[in-house]
Every structure is written in structure tokens, then in C-alpha cells.
A = this chain, B = another copy of it.
Amino acid sequence: MNPIETKKKGKGRNKIEIKRIDKEANRQVCFSKRRQGLFKKANELCTLCGAEVTIIVFSIAGKPYSFGHPSVDHVLQRFLNVPGTSEFSRSAATTSFDPLNEELAYLCKKLEEERNKSRALKVAQKALSPVSNSFLWDINLSLMGMEELTEYEKVLLEHQAIISQLARQSCCHAPVIRQIDGSSMAEVGEADYLLLQQQWQNYELA
């Protein structure tokens, strides 16, 4: 037995390199199997962790497949409504200015204005440690009504967007993986209805 030539048996799985599969037949089979696996994983993530997930896949042939919980549209709407998450959520027409920087500058300016408006509150801020933001924990949500909470939520989203922008600028130009909360399965084909049913059964049980 040659120790170097550890020939594998014909059955079972071989380790493969993650690079484009040249042989078209193999690529198609791999695509189909792995897409199913990906959607299954996504479904598990939703069920296990209460997350909202959407996946859109275009095959090399251009055929679209999608997964979404609670629905593709729901997650997309939510994503597109987050300021700064997607460029075309507000304007696909990139004019001479950079929309992201423009948005950042705009929001900073507005925040600065708000800041100037509430001078009386500077006292409270100064009383607190300049290093620590722990005073934020003092915010008492329970004193707010729903309307106020809604407004506050908007501010949170804006601040979050700004922070993400800053994080993006200070790191690299790779697309930042962004975050806020929260699963529908809209398979363009038919193959995944079973998975969907299973998913909803899980939810009904929960």
C-alpha cells in the first residue's frame, strides 16, 4: 500500500476546493443541492433564533430563487426603510454628489441643530462622565407613550445609520455587514413548499 497515494474509494464525499466548478453538469447539481441546503439553514436560523431572513439567488442561467421569512417583501421593505442601507432605497440617480456622504452630512447637520435647540439639557450631559455613556441607561422608556416611542425609534434608526456610516468610513470599503432586527418563503419554483410547510408547522407549535 502506497502511503502517498491514498486513493479514495468511489463512494462518499471528497474534499473540494472552493472555486468555480468547470463541468457544467456538476455545477448545476451542486447549485441545486447547495441552494436547498442554504435555504434550509436560513429556515433553521429563523426558527431557532427568531430572526427575519430573506435570500435572493440568481443561478448562472439567470433564474431567480428566493427565500423569505415572514416574507421576502417584508424583509426587503424593512431593509430598504433603514436609512443608508441601500442606495436605491431613496434615490437611484446618483448625481454629482455622493449620496452616502450627503446623507451623513445632512443627518449630522440636523442633529447638530437639534442639539442647539436643547441647550438646557447640556447640563445633564455635562454632569455625566465625558468618557462614559452610561447615562444612556438612565433613559426611561417606560415614561414614554407609544407616540413618543415611535419618534424615539426613528432617532435610534438614524443614529444607527450614522454609526454604521462612520464604521464603514473608518474601516475599509468592503460592504459593511449591517444590522437592525428580526422570516416567508417565496420560492420562484415549487421545490421549497415542503420546507415552508415544515417551517410554519414549527411556528404553530411554538
Q: Which residues of chain A have a CB within 8 Å of any CB of chain B?
A: 16, 18-21, 27-28, 30-31, 34-35, 37-39, 41-42, 44-45, 47-68, 71-73, 75-80, 82, 85-88, 90-93, 95-97, 99, 102-103, 105-106, 108, 110-125, 127-129, 131-164, 166-167, 170-182, 186-189, 192-193, 195-197, 200, 202, 205-206
Contacts and interface: CB of A to CB of B under 8 A. Distances in A.
B140 A160 contact: no
Contacts of A39: 177
A152 to B, nearest CB: 5
Contacts of A172: 193, 197
Q: Which 10 A-B pairs have the closest CB atoms?
A: A62-B181, A58-B182, A93-B99, A63-B179, A92-B96, A120-B151, A142-B177, A121-B135, A177-B192, A64-B180
Contact of A118 (B79, B138, B171): B138
A142 B175 contact: yes
A72 B197 CA distance: 27
A14 B124 CA distance: 51
8 contacts: A34-B41, A59-B181, A92-B99, A114-B118, A120-B151, A141-B178, A157-B180, A161-B181
A56 B79 contact: yes
Contacts of A92: 80, 88, 96-97, 99, 102
A200 to B, nearest CB: 6
Given A97-B92, A114-B118, A123-B148, A63 B20 contact: no
Contacts of A202: 18-19
Contact of A59 (B49, B90, B93): B49
A51 to B, nearest CB: 6
Nearest to A133: B139
Contact of A175 (B16, B86, B118, B141): B141
A145 to B, nearest CB: 7
A29 to B, nearest CB: 10
B175 A66 contact: yes
